[in-house]
Amino acid sequence: MVTTEWGTFPDELSPSEAMMWKGEDQARLRSGGILVLLLDRSPDWPGLTASFERYSSLFPRLRQRIATTPFGLSPPRWVVDPDFDLSFHLRHVALPPPGTFDQLLELIACDVSSGFDRLRPPWVGTVVDGLAGGRAALVLKQHHALFDGPGMVQILGRWLDRERESQVPAPVAAPPPQTLSDADLLRAALNPLRLAAGARRSFRRTGSAATAFLRPRELAARVAAVVGSIDQIAGPSVKNGSPLLAGRSTSARLGTLDVPLADLKAAAKSAGGTLNDVLLAAVADALGRYHQHFGKRVESVNLAFPVSVRTDDDEPGGNRFSGAMICAPADLADPASRIARIHAQVLSARDLGAAELVAAFTAVAYRLPSWLVAAVPLMDKVDAQVSNFPGLPSRHYLAGAEVLRSYGFESHPGTPMMIVLMSHAGTCCVSVNVDAAAVTEMPVLMKDLREAVNDVLALAGGATPARTPLSAEARPS
């Protein structure tokens, strides 16, 4: 354990974090994320480095790398990097003229699917100058093992300033370097015995602990049965995802939309749904429109989404989520009816234990070879992963620069796309990351998504339409 004034942080990765880290071996399974903070000016570089110096000490994960024990006998663990060098993790670049937001997205897309240096803490921050209007951006790339979306917002809320001229407090002492001791290795050797007992309880729906450790091929078949049960919870669905979105590669295309938070909430309330229901409804409609562009009709699409299990007592950062999937209607023209049906589907998926099934799968799958996990046809059934979480509710600053928007681009391991809604000071910042081989017409998809969101917003009456960042009508004041 590492303890700072921000809390106590466990050394071992959780099963879900360990599985995501293991996925680094397979390009299609990588679980990185990129947070883009759009700034009104370039941050003061000395102030920025001083800020990172302090808060990387307070939040120890930023100074730790992930180490594995011999033969993988115990879960990977966080250890302080004795060679931590902040200059490796912070970079400074500039866009060429004219400095459009699309140029920024193209720069980020080249890096969103790349892997991490396994011998260093899994994060990199890049200041990008040269955006139109004197603006800049901080691009933070981090592995999902560090934190989920809500965990990231917790860290941002403690890290960013509330005033433009706020002074960075004095640095604090960094935690001492760590190595795996003889006691750690002994615990690792005994760990399988403890895991065998726990696995039998947590994986009873899919088989015994012996199956998990001794017959991995049979386990793969049982995991496929878990996937089938998730489909049953979701209701009638296709056996696999849409053939139109079946292509897979390591190339990404990115897009964004800005949507007024109050209007989106009003639309959700008018239809008796939640903000998450509205987002899922808009994505389902957009995918239906996208299929129509190619002369194909689709009645439903499979949408996966996280289910947060975070509590107020949890330490900041980390991952506190499971998952579920629904078969969302893509052919319902009336947005209110679509939202109502999706609302019922989401409640059913949660009530009937889809999240528990995913947790049971993760509890054993993280110990398997990454190639075997990649062979499980779980992700082949997903047409889109959709996530939303509340971001910063008010103005914040970074080294003298105001944060105007925050966009979260998450990886889409084995799936066609990941769509994330992150609110920021009254604006919903929608980020889209697609596999370029699955979505061959990115401009068409973004147009369809914008129209679908605007149709939902019409339920609120007089709502401001969704906009593209840095367009003439969308520039923050």
- Tens-digit pLDDT profile for residues 62-79: 999 998 876 666 778 888
Share of the chain above pLDDT 90, in %: 47
pLDDT of residue 432: 97
CA 78 to chain centre: 20
Positions annotated as catalytic residues are 144
pLDDT-based confidence at residue 147 (cuts at 50, 70, 90)? confident
Phi-psi region of 295 (alpha: psi -120 to 50; beta: other; left: phi over 0): left
Instruction: Identify the helix (H) or strand (E) that includes residue 4.
Output: strand 2-4
pLDDT of residue 213: 47
> What's the Cα-to-Cα distance from 426 to each of 166, 262, 406, 464, rounded to whole Å?
23, 7, 11, 13
Instruction: Identify the helix (H) or strand (E) that includes residue 216.
Output: helix 216-234
Q: What is the average pLDDT value for the chain, to the nearest integer?
A: 80
φ/ψ of residue 368, rounded to 5: -90, 160
Tokens of 413: 């391991």
DSSP code string of 72-98: G-S--EEEE-TT--HHHHEEEEEPPTT
Per DSSP, 265 falls in state H
pLDDT-based confidence at residue 260 (cuts at 50, 70, 90)? very high
pLDDT-based confidence at residue 149 (cuts at 50, 70, 90)? confident
pLDDT of residue 315: 63
Asked whether the bond before 175 is cis by omega within 30 degrees of 0, the reply is no
How many whole angstroms separate alpha carbon 275 and alpha carbon 24? 32
Of 52-56, 70-74, 222-226, 282-286, the range with the highest mean pLDDT is 282-286
pLDDT of residue 323: 72
Report strand pairing: 417-424 vs 427-435.
Answer: antiparallel
User: For residues 246 and 438, is the Cβ–Cβ distance under 8 A?
Assistant: yes
pLDDT-based confidence at residue 235 (cuts at 50, 70, 90)? very low
Tokens 């009336």 sit on residue: 334
Provide the β-strand partners of residue 140. 35, 125
Give the residue, 117 or 177, on which the prediction is more confident.
117
User: For residues 296 and 287, is the Cβ–Cβ distance under 8 A?
Assistant: no
Tokens of 338: 């679509």
pLDDT-based confidence at residue 234 (cuts at 50, 70, 90)? very low
pLDDT of residue 340: 96
Give the residue, 412 or 458, on which the prediction is more confident.
458
pLDDT of residue 362: 66
pLDDT-based confidence at residue 166 (cuts at 50, 70, 90)? confident
> What's the Cα-to-Cα distance from 39 to each of 240, 395, 396, 436, rounded to whole Å?
41, 11, 10, 28
Residue 328: exposure state from Cβ atoms within 10 A (0-12, 13-18, ≥19): buried
pLDDT of residue 218: 60
How many whole angstroms separate alpha carbon 85 and alpha carbon 439? 39
pLDDT of residue 206: 40
Q: Taking the C-alpha atoms of 23, 360, 385 and 280 in order, what is their torsion angle to the nearest 10 degrees? A: -170
Q: What angle do CA 185, 187, 192 make, to 5 degrees?
A: 110
In the predicted structure, residue 358 carries a pLDDT above the cut 50: yes
Tokens 């933070």 sit on residue: 140
How many whole angstroms separate alpha carbon 437 and alpha carbon 167? 47
Give the model confidence (pLDDT) of 4-58 as tens digits: 655 566 788 877 787 777 777 776 777 778 999 999 999 999 999 999 998 888 8
User: For residues 57 and 175, is the Cβ–Cβ distance under 8 A?
Assistant: yes
